[in-house]
A and B are shown apart, each in its own frame.
Chain A
């Protein structure tokens, strides 16, 4: 096992985890709710992109954009159907968690009906997956593309949040929705846009994940749903930079525990970490202290 190879693997896997967890964190930071249907949106994004390639023979980059758009729309509708009524009623945060679980079950089951439960792939030869020659480690062009795309999207999101009017409104709503609405921000619209962006990121993560492993089925979101939770807890719930950092840390732990320990312990170590962080530093590695304990 050479170390460089493990580091390379950890970096590209981490970029997908980070991209996925960004949407979780974005929604949590703006709305203060945990959207457990995020992984179902991830799955739908991947399958929409796949359908665009298989049934409409579109080139993969266009299909990936369609996957993001479709996932964004699903996520937007999710907010309107599963979250908005509860928020308007002032229901507790836990109710929104439960409704997102209901939505997740519904969306995954629907995906099983629409796309069947069998494993599906992008057409052979459509993905450049022969290792790039002349490097001291093995990396395929698709892995490089995944990494570049993921980091590009993260930077784009960062720019959107920090440098645009929309981003400023989102930050205002995240800070205090009531004050923001008094100052003329359409809070409901910001919530919709936040969910759309989070969904598009999940769709991108799903498509990239599907491309990188080229093996997709409707339960593909299950594992990443729980890992994504670990990632955002590690980074601090609702902390966008923390989510990116957490994604790379979790990926590194996974890759190195496969390399140096038994592979079945990979997940156990990830969840033990989740447990420990919650108990020792519930605000996350770089988060501010928030009241989360009794």
Chain B
């Protein structure tokens, strides 16, 4: 631990690495099913607010907040996913950006609307100020356990019949449908899983930062989550985890100030998508690069297709 601390990875930093890994996995699920969704920040917000209200206002234990937040995320994902997932690539991206904005604005205004209906001042989400002094209940081992469970779940999911269906939908929706896969069902279930995972990450992050506001979960957060998966790659579930770890720890390790953060994050996203399309964790891609720089062995020169 001392070594990590000496290079700048203190316990809070480590905790956020774990939370971000969960977020990376949530976007991984949709990506490996061929859905480019930027809705995860919105679901994270739903989880964070639901969880914080349950633990702070009602004084319930963290596990109830976690389950409640995940259920809330999953429930919202159903009516959103059904119409939206019929859209493809850029259209889906735009629709999910719109969803994120609607969640943010809804959280900002829920108190005002509720107050005007009830007739007296009601505080639910706290408007622009958000919720403060959330009990700091999340421990590192909670996060480690949660991440391990998520990895195990995804690993089993991908090995299952349903996981094969996800891969088929990604490869070619029409072919998948012709093979008897219910594409709409697969996409919606994955979208719900992804939303629940993002919501879980939201609950945990709320109980780490102890203060949340709707503006924390805007378009920038959605892009940060996407960047985890882009940097790490989506060949395996470890890609987004590595991506999340690196992007969270890098600013601390390199000790560059916040002012350069955007410049470096933007450049990383740009460079990775252009020069490293499979991301960092991409065994096949690295093997190919390795072969290209070692043409002496010869066997790789047969070019198929």
Interfacial residues, chain A to chain B (CB-CB below 8 A): 34, 81-82, 85-86, 89, 91-95, 97-99, 101-110, 112-113, 222, 226, 229-230, 233, 237, 262, 264-265, 267-268, 271-272, 274-275, 278-279, 282, 292-294
Nearest-neighbour CB distance to chain A for B271, whole angstroms, equals 8
Complex contacts, A230 vs chain B, CB 8 Å: 98
B273 at the interface (CB under 8 A from A): yes
Pairwise interchain contact A278-B219, C-beta atoms closer than 8 A: no
Pairwise interchain contact B226-A271, C-beta atoms closer than 8 A: no
- Which residue of chain A has its CB nearest to the CB of B31? A94
Pairwise interchain contact B88-A292, C-beta atoms closer than 8 A: yes
Complex contacts, A109 vs chain B, CB 8 Å: 259-263, 265-266
In the bound complex, how far is the Cα of B96 from the Cα of A271, in angstroms?
Answer: 11
Nearest-neighbour CB distance to chain B for A137, whole angstroms, equals 30
Pairwise interchain contact A272-B102, C-beta atoms closer than 8 A: yes
Nearest-neighbour CB distance to chain A for B149, whole angstroms, equals 29
Most chain-A Cβ atoms within 10 A of its Cβ — which of B85, B87, B101, B260? B101
Complex contacts, A92 vs chain B, CB 8 Å: 89
In the bound complex, how far is the Cα of B219 from the Cα of A222, in angstroms?
Answer: 9
CB-contact partner of A102 in B87, B95, B173, B268, under 8 A: B268
Pairwise interchain contact A282-B263, C-beta atoms closer than 8 A: no
A271-B101, A278-B91, A278-B95 are contacts. A101–B263 as well, Cβ < 8 Å? no
Pairwise interchain contact A293-B88, C-beta atoms closer than 8 A: yes
Pairwise interchain contact B86-A104, C-beta atoms closer than 8 A: no
Complex contacts, B269 vs chain A, CB 8 Å: 98-99, 101-102, 105
B105 at the interface (CB under 8 A from A): yes
A91-B277, A99-B270, A275-B102 are contacts. A264–B109 as well, Cβ < 8 Å? yes
Nearest-neighbour CB distance to chain A for B233, whole angstroms, equals 12
B122 at the interface (CB under 8 A from A): no
A94-B36, A226-B97, A275-B98 are contacts. A86–B274 as well, Cβ < 8 Å? yes
Nearest-neighbour CB distance to chain A for B141, whole angstroms, equals 34
B99 at the interface (CB under 8 A from A): yes
Pairwise interchain contact B101-A226, C-beta atoms closer than 8 A: yes
Complex contacts, A102 vs chain B, CB 8 Å: 266-271, 273
Most chain-A Cβ atoms within 10 A of its Cβ — which of B173, B268, B270? B270
Pairwise interchain contact B266-A113, C-beta atoms closer than 8 A: no
Complex contacts, B273 vs chain A, CB 8 Å: 86, 95, 98-99, 102
Nearest-neighbour CB distance to chain A for B223, whole angstroms, equals 6
Besides A222-B219, A279-B87, A294-B184, 19 other A-B contacts (C-beta < 8 A): A86-B273, A95-B277, A97-B90, A98-B273, A102-B269, A105-B262, A106-B262, A106-B267, A109-B259, A112-B262, A230-B98, A237-B90, A264-B105, A264-B109, A275-B99, A278-B91, A279-B86, A292-B91, A293-B88
